[in-house]
Structure 1
Amino acid sequence: MPLPLYLLAMAVCAMGTSEFMLAGLLPDIASDLDVTVGAAGTLTSAFAIGMVVGAPLVAALARNWPRRPALLGFILVFAAAHAVAALTTSFFVLFAGRVVAALANAGFLAVALTAAAALVSPDRKGRALAVLLSGTTVATVAGVPGGAMLGTALGWRATFWAVAVLCLPAAVGILRGIPAGRDEDPALGRPALRSELAELGKPRLILVMLLGALVNAATFAGLTFLAPVVTDSAGLADWWISAALMLFGAGSFVGVTVAGRLSDRRPGPVIAIGGPLLLIGWPALAVLGKEPVALFVLLFVQGALSFALGSTLITRVLYEAEAAPTMAGSYATAALNVGAAAGPLVAAASLHTGGGVLGPLWASGCLVAVALLIALPLRTVITDQRSTVVLR
């Protein structure tokens, strides 16, 4: 894999740390800013909504920009938004800062996903996506648990400062490692924007985007409210939140790595095996989550299954959107973050049911069940890129 791909993954790690870190900081943010934990959870949705809206919008605006300055500008805006968030005492300003950061993240990912696919041969998109998404999994293994530990020791604001600082070496890496020549300009040889947007009318593309969104919604529903499961349900100290996040992240790294080797040529087995196991895993976590050993084992497994299935579906988005070379990354980003926005909202509503702090885990299981019910009769359409089946 080309070196610039790993530099992009480093930047994705910084951004992924921010996207996932609230899972360990919500109680402290809620207490400091005098809001409920459920209200604090909407910060995750705010970030995701910003990415859903921002991905196609910013990608369309950035179509004529050379990739290096576009990527550099996005990551610097992202860092600045975190610095402002670390200084504010207003929940509204923090909320707005998350939206701005999300717009920058959306633009970065939209360009980075397209750039990653362009750096490799057409039949290795899954491998390239796996390298890029490994930045997210490293964030969940090291960045997010580290942020949770830093937040426990020094307060949640220190974690926001840390993300801002983490963006700087990534920016230097982009500046030094991403070529700036005209042959790297995404504007060269691109189709018209209207024709790229018309790809969104393809039923097969809509299907894989929907399934990717549902699986990611399940992931974020369970992960966003993981801290209360660890401390209230399992009865562990706050420091164990970092360990739980680290195990989920380690599993996600394994899942995305394995899926990266299969999603180009053999996506069918990943979906057919991983989907039902993921469906079983979330309710099992809700039932057995009171036992610390079972909790940690299942978190690792669910991390692996969630990212294996999710990354495979997002790879299918890139394949189905081949005729939209400058916008395909934004479609994949939007699909991921529709789920990231919806998942915490569904999970927050489940907190007021009889499930209590375990409600989000049941909600995750329901979201996966919906995805499988949709996917089962259409599995050949999802897994066979050359299929001539047409959805009606």
Structure 2
Amino acid sequence: MPLALYLLALAVFAMGTSEFMLAGLLPDLAADLGVTVGAAGTLTSAFAVGMAVGAPLMAALARAWPRRATLLGFTLTFAAAHAVGAVTASFPVLFATRIVAALANAGFLAVALTAAAALVPADRKGRALAVLLSGTTLATVAGVPGGSVLGTLLGWRAAFWAVAVLCLPAALGILTGVPADRGRRETSGGPALRVEFAQLTGVPLLRAMLLGALVNAATFAGFTFLAPVVTGPAGLGEWWVPVALVLFGAGSFAGVTVAGRLADRRPGSVLAVGGPLLLLGWPALALLAERPAVLLALVFVQGALSFALGATLITRVLYEAAAAPTLAGAYATAALNTGAATGPLIAAAALTTAAGVLGPLWTSGLLVAAALLTALPARAATTPGRNPEAAR
């Protein structure tokens, strides 16, 4: 894999840390800003909405810009948004900074996904995406628990400052490691923008995006509100929250690694095996939450299954959107973050039900069930029906 791909993954690590770290900071943040935990959870949804809406918009705007300069600009904007968020005492201002950061992240990821696919042969897209998305999974392994520890020791604002600082070496890596000459988008040689948007009328692409959104909604519904489960039904102290996040992140890294080797050639097998297991795992997590050892083990398993399925489906989006080289990454990003936006909102509503803090886990199970029901009548969408030459 090219060095530039790993430098892009470093930036994804910084941004992934921000996207996921609120799961360990919500109680402290909510208390400091005088809002409920459910209201604080909408910060995750705000970020995801900005990502989903911003991905195609930013990708279209940056279509003819030099790729390296575009990636650098988005990274620095992301850092600045976190610096503002770290000093504000206003929840609405913090909410706004999350949207700005999300737009920057969306633009970066949409360009980076397309860049990653372009850096390797067409039949290695899945492997390239696994490297890129490893930045996100490593964020859940190291960045998010680290943010939780910082939040516990120094307050949630320290975690925001850490993300801002973490963006600086990533920006330097992009500046020095991403080739300037490879990245320029040539609009004259590619399809017109309207032709790329027209790809959204294709049923296979829409189906792959919907499945990706549903699986990611399930992931974020359970993950966002994991901390109250650890400190509530499980009866563990707040220092166990980073442990749970590390386990989820370690599982997600394992899942993406396995999916990266199978997503190109055997996506149907990944979904056929992983889908039912993921469906069973979320209710099991809710039913066995009072058993700490079992809960922690299931957190690892759910992280692995969630990211294995999510990475596989996003790879399918890129294959189905092969005729939209500029916007393919944006479509994948929009699918991921539509799920990331809706999942926490539905889960927050579930907190007010009789299930209480376990409500989000049941919500995740229902969302996975919806994904499997959607996939059943259209198994062709989850088979590698397009060979590398067609994808090229």
TM range (shorter): over 0.9
* Code of the aligned partner of 2:46: A
Q: CA deviation at 1:191?
A: 1.1
Q: CA deviation at 1:379?
A: 1.2
Aligned to 2:197: 197
1:39-54 maps to which residues of 2 (within 5 A)?
Answer: 39-54=39-54
3-state SS of 1:348 partner: helix
1:171-210 maps to which residues of 2 (within 5 A)?
Answer: 171-181=171-181, 183-187=182-186, 189-210=189-210
CA distance in 1, matches of 2:268, 2:47: 32
3-state SS of 2:354 partner: coil
CA distance in 2, matches of 1:190, 1:100: 30
Q: CA deviation at 1:187?
A: 2.2
After superposition, the C-alpha distances for 1:11-44 in whole angstroms (9 at most, x for unaligned) are 0000000000000000111100000000000000
CA distance in 1, matches of 2:266, 2:345: 33
Verify the 8 A CA contact 1:54 1:106 in the aligned structure 2.
Answer: yes
Q: CA deviation at 1:382?
A: 2.5
Report the count of equivalent residues.
Answer: 386
Deviates more, 1:211-220 or 1:185-194: 185-194
Aligned to 2:361: 361
CA distance in 2, matches of 1:385, 1:166: 40
1:57 matches 2:35: no
* Code of the aligned partner of 1:350: A
* Code of the aligned partner of 1:275: G
The alignment's TM-score, normalised by the length of structure 2, stands at: 0.98
Aligned to 2:390: none
Aligned to 1:390: none
Aligned to 1:235: 235
CA distance in 2, matches of 1:337, 1:298: 24
* Code of the aligned partner of 2:203: P
Verify the 8 A CA contact 2:317 2:328 in the aligned structure 1.
Answer: yes
Aligned to 2:12: 12
1:102 matches 2:102: yes
| Structure 1 residue ranges (4+ consecutive) displaced by more than 4 angstroms after TM superposition | none
Aligned to 2:120: 120
Aligned to 1:140: 140
Verify the 8 A CA contact 1:320 1:385 in the aligned structure 2.
Answer: no
Verify the 8 A CA contact 1:66 1:187 in the aligned structure 2.
Answer: no
Aligned to 1:161: 161
Unaligned runs of 5+ in 2: 388-392
Q: CA deviation at 1:233?
A: 1.0
CA distance in 1, matches of 2:52, 2:141: 25
CA distance in 1, matches of 2:45, 2:383: 30
CA distance in 1, matches of 2:59, 2:383: 27
Q: CA deviation at 1:290?
A: 1.0
Aligned to 1:263: 263
* Code of the aligned partner of 1:3: L
1:232-311 maps to which residues of 2 (within 5 A)?
Answer: 232-311=232-311
CA distance in 1, matches of 2:228, 2:85: 24
CA distance in 2, matches of 1:105, 1:338: 14
* Code of the aligned partner of 1:14: A
CA distance in 1, matches of 2:49, 2:247: 27
Verify the 8 A CA contact 1:255 1:305 in the aligned structure 2.
Answer: yes
CA distance in 2, matches of 1:147, 1:58: 28
CA distance in 1, matches of 2:346, 2:56: 24
Verify the 8 A CA contact 2:23 2:225 in the aligned structure 1.
Answer: yes
CA distance in 2, matches of 1:302, 1:85: 31
The alignment's TM-score, normalised by the length of structure 1, stands at: 0.98
Verify the 8 A CA contact 1:319 1:385 in the aligned structure 2.
Answer: no
Aligned to 2:344: 344
After superposition, the C-alpha distances for 1:196-253 in whole angstroms (9 at most, x for unaligned) are 0000110000000000000000000000000000001111110100000000000000
Q: CA deviation at 1:107?
A: 0.1
CA distance in 2, matches of 1:74, 1:184: 15
CA distance in 2, matches of 1:57, 1:152: 37
Q: Identity of counterpart residues, as a percentage?
A: 76
CA distance in 1, matches of 2:89, 2:222: 28
* Code of the aligned partner of 1:373: L
CA distance in 2, matches of 1:26, 1:187: 44
Q: CA deviation at 1:325?
A: 0.3
1:28 matches 2:28: yes
CA distance in 2, matches of 1:123, 1:303: 26
Q: CA deviation at 1:381?
A: 2.6
* Code of the aligned partner of 2:253: F
After superposition, the C-alpha distances for 1:262-288 in whole angstroms (9 at most, x for unaligned) are 000111110000000000000000001
After superposition, the C-alpha distances for 1:168-214 in whole angstroms (9 at most, x for unaligned) are 00000000000111x43122522110000000110000000000000
Q: CA deviation at 1:376?
A: 1.2
After superposition, the C-alpha distances for 1:343-381 in whole angstroms (9 at most, x for unaligned) are 000100100111100000000000000000110121123
Verify the 8 A CA contact 2:319 2:386 in the aligned structure 1.
Answer: no
CA distance in 2, matches of 1:184, 1:226: 39
* Code of the aligned partner of 2:37: V
1:312 matches 2:338: no
